[in-house]
Amino acid sequence: MLRKRPYLKREWCQWVLDAPLRSEVQPDGRIRWWGIIDEWDGRVLRLVTLRMG
């Protein structure tokens, strides 16, 4: 998905997974993760991962 969103950085995604602000399991088993990215003007990044996380 990073190819579709070139403005995102891989390290931001890893940071959110390592220290999420919040996480939630969707009905289909996928996991949503939220984290604040200071480098991105304090915006919140939401990631969705497969069941394994």
Average pLDDT over residues 25-30: 94
User: Percent of the chain at pLDDT above 70?
Assistant: 94
If one counts the domains in the chain, the total is: 1
Tell me the CA distances in angstroms from 20 to 3, 4, 36, one per residue in order: 23, 23, 8
pLDDT of 27 > 70? The answer is: yes
pLDDT for the residue 29:
93
pLDDT tier for residue 41 given thresholds of 50, 70 and 90 = very high
DSSP code at position 19: S
> Does residue 27 sit within a domain?
yes
Q: Which domain holds residue 40?
A: 10-49
> Does residue 14 sit within a domain?
yes
Average pLDDT over residues 24-49: 95
pLDDT of 5 > 60? The answer is: yes
> Does residue 29 sit within a domain?
yes
